[in-house]
Structure 1
Amino acid sequence: MASALPLGEPAPLDGLLPASAAIGANDRAFGVYVHVPFCRVRCGYCDFNTYTASELRGARQVDYADHVIAEIRMSRRALEASGVPDRPAATAFFGGGTPTLLPADDLVRMLGAVRDEFGLAPGAEVTTEANPDSVGPDDLARLADGGFTRVSFGMQSAVPHVLAALDRTHDPARVPLVVRWARDAGLDVSLDLIYGTPGESLGDWRRSLESAIAERPDHLSAYALIVEQGTKLARQIRRGELAEPSDDLEADMYELADELLAGAGFEWYEVSNWATDASHRSRHNLGYWRGDDWWGVGPGAHSHVGGTRWWNAKHPAAYAERVNAGLSPAVGREVLDPPARDTERVLLLARIREGIDIPSLPAGGRHAVAGLIADGLVDAKAALAGVLTLTRRGRLLADAVVRRLLE
């Protein structure tokens, strides 16, 4: 079951934004996120807004690209009518779900609509997520020819019993193949890993890390497994069929990841993300952490422009019905006031390597810095230069650091 949408005020049917959304827009990057909610099977740990073929009820994958293109065109008109200045998309990210369950030509058509309506900035980063068993060499070549620059493969693990616990369907031997095919097509490569799966040992995790590093990706993400209520995994743990992930083991796994990745030439730039150099950091995801603007397209997609957030109807059928009627698919929104935006800024910037300018912190946060340094949570050298940056221990306790900065 997908997670619930947040509470908020009703979104206007015309999709127009308040005047405050335009303030300072030229100082913020603009990106486009396209949600593709289709999966071949539902993984037991996943609570994303995704649907297998049997769950679609009233929506068809074959029509999906046309609905997305209609929303992209609608979004361009809504931004213009709201007084938000034109900006080319610096990034575009196709996530899911499994975007590559759609034909490559459909993904290229949707990207073409982004290019036609907004333009793509020179050197724009254009990413699609993919499962290792959802693409072949021809698909990847077509994506590259159509303007994609990057592919993020959901590797998750190199250990068969861990993949089975996660309900992942690919053979680990498939990963080197898809990485090579992506390289042959001229695409940058990111690999996504998950740690803390029930039954996964520290040795299993080391094997997955070493297997991922051996492929020499440009970028690697490693996320701790979160047991979301309502998922198959949560039910299995509640019934005692699987053990709940151990916080101590997950901390050991994170430290091992950072140690092995640093030794292989990767640098952390966000708590869960590493890249071979600054040019291969995910600019799209950095836009989220920096509070930039993005328009989220598709069912359940979330957007943000100038402190206004909104979210679309969740089910593909409900989404399609609104788009076909010429109405905004947004069903709710919130306009953040200045205190909420300041709090969010600290919450997000604390997670990335570039950190937060200490003078910009609230008074309580500035006073907390010395104690955070003493506790080994904040880098002392960076703090002397006026920037708050987390140490490895600080990254493990990032939420606790943020609470102290906001007290």
Structure 2
Amino acid sequence: MAGNVAPFGPHYGFGLYVHWPYCSKICPYCDFNVYAAKSRDNGPLLQAINDDIRIHRPRMPEHGALDTVYFGGGTPSLLTPAEVETLLATADATFGVKLDAEITLEANPNDIMRADLRGLKAAGINRLSIGVQSLRDNALAFLGRDHDAASALAAVDRALKVFRNVSVDFIYARPSQSLDEWGEELSDALALGAPHLSLYELTIEQRTAFGKSVERGELVPMDPDAQADLYDLTQTITTSAGLEAYEVSNHASAPKYRSRHNMIYWNGGDWIGVGPGAHGRVTVGGKRYASEAQRQPNTYIANVQALGSGWSEAGALPSLDIARELMAMGLRPAGGINLDRIEMLSNTSVPREKIDVFVEQGWARFDGAILSLTPSGWLLADAITAQLAP
């Protein structure tokens, strides 16, 4: 790579992440910064998020227009089209939003059924990410979802009538789930016709309701070898259906349907994080800053009003930390990572003898300076990253 190209920054993509923290129901596996939605006035939080977007502009004079905007949560589909439009108008007035920008809204099936989808499209949303999680009623009950399989099917069908770019999330590797059961469900998921699927293995975090159930011995997570078998089956089925993985957990029917916003994370680009608990990475004056907003909505609002920032902290990252993060994130997409970027930051060489072993085992590919993992390597991504990271 050219020596004058920085190994991170907005030339690898520039996005805005908006965190809406409220959910109509909190799922037992969820480890995100979420709160139960109640009858409340959204006005103060919306105002704070709008102000927080504006506050970033003088800090980031070198940044151009946004490539992506992502409304995540929580459940941002609880927002009205008018509220979404206001936030997008602020982003456009402050930084500019490119004409071809990807603008995603996460949504639950029940919200899709009652939402003004054409209103959301008119507001600027051009991609929906629908949290279906399963097409089996017993699994949905286990996962604590507030919809059933029939409403999930109806929601995806309704979404595809208005939006072509639709992603659907599923959670598999649930306790005692068999290969046959997941194979049938995945075939049903592919039959939905969405051009993008995000297929996640169930991860049980300690502080969640599921985590507490595991501690009490009430829930036994799936054995790692059984999870690996399900992962291999997932790759076989999706590839034969034309939705090959372009990242560890993400599948698209064509390059234009890949999540451009997530690619910013994986490629070492910049993104602003606004809203309670949102994380960001921004480059200013050649330094990379990690930001985290206050988690509690009321504290976040108060911070923006009193201190002119929603951040609870923001610090410049050491070069070694940036290199390790780039390695961990860069090995997730199929395109891999240019090791020149890692070596430029760490001032050390990534051990080629270890790479040779991974290539020999069929876990990695190494072409020039580009290191990428194969689907079997993705199963070992954390271990490989630990072996190679500076």
**TM-score, normalisation: structure 2:** 0.90
Identify which of 51, 62, 65 aligns with 2:35: 51
Structure 2: distance between partners of 1:318 and 1:358:
41
Q: Is 2:301 the partner of 1:320?
A: yes
Alpha-carbon deviations, 1:223-262, whole Å to 9, x = none?
Answer: 1111111211112122222222221121111111111110
The equivalent of 2:376 in structure 1 is: 393
- Note the aligned Cα RMSD (angstroms): 2.1
CA contact (8 A) 2:69 2:104 kept: yes
CA contact (8 A) 2:12 2:269 kept: yes
The equivalent of 2:73 in structure 1 is: 96
Question: Which of 209-218 and 43-52 deviates more?
Answer: 209-218
Gaps of 5+ in 2: 1-5
Task: State the 1:28 CA deviation.
Answer: 3.8
- Secondary structure at the aligned position of 1:352 is classed as coil
The equivalent of 1:19 in structure 2 is: none
- Counterpart AA for 2:360: A
Map 1:7-406 → 2, pairs under 5 A:
27-53=11-37, 60-79=41-60, 84-136=61-113, 139-306=116-283, 307-325=288-306, 327-358=308-339, 362-379=348-365, 383-384=366-367, 386-406=369-389
**TM-score, normalisation: structure 1:** 0.87
CA contact (8 A) 1:355 1:387 kept: yes
Structure 2: distance between partners of 1:313 and 1:384:
42
Gaps of 5+ in 1: 1-21
Question: Which of 156-165 and 279-288 deviates more?
Answer: 156-165
Task: State the 1:208 CA deviation.
Answer: 2.5
Structure 2: distance between partners of 1:208 and 1:118:
42
* Pair 1:252–1:228, CA change in 2 (3 A): same
CA contact (8 A) 1:36 1:99 kept: yes
Task: State the 1:118 CA deviation.
Answer: 1.2
Alpha-carbon deviations, 1:151-179, whole Å to 9, x = none?
Answer: 00001111111111110111111223222
Task: State the 1:24 CA deviation.
Answer: 7.6
Task: State the 1:86 CA deviation.
Answer: 3.6
* Pair 1:401–1:317, CA change in 2 (3 A): same
Structure 2: distance between partners of 1:105 and 1:203:
45
- Counterpart AA for 2:53: I
Structure 1: distance between partners of 2:244 and 2:252:
6
Question: Aligned residues: percent identity?
Answer: 36
- Secondary structure at the aligned position of 1:363 is classed as coil
Task: State the 1:34 CA deviation.
Answer: 0.2
Question: Which of 111-120 and 35-44 deviates more?
Answer: 111-120
Task: State the 1:284 CA deviation.
Answer: 0.3
Alpha-carbon deviations, 1:101-154, whole Å to 9, x = none?
Answer: 122321222122111211111210000000101123652111111111100000
CA contact (8 A) 1:148 1:187 kept: no
* Pair 1:386–1:295, CA change in 2 (3 A): closer
Structure 2: distance between partners of 1:91 and 1:163:
31
Structure 2: distance between partners of 1:202 and 1:164:
20
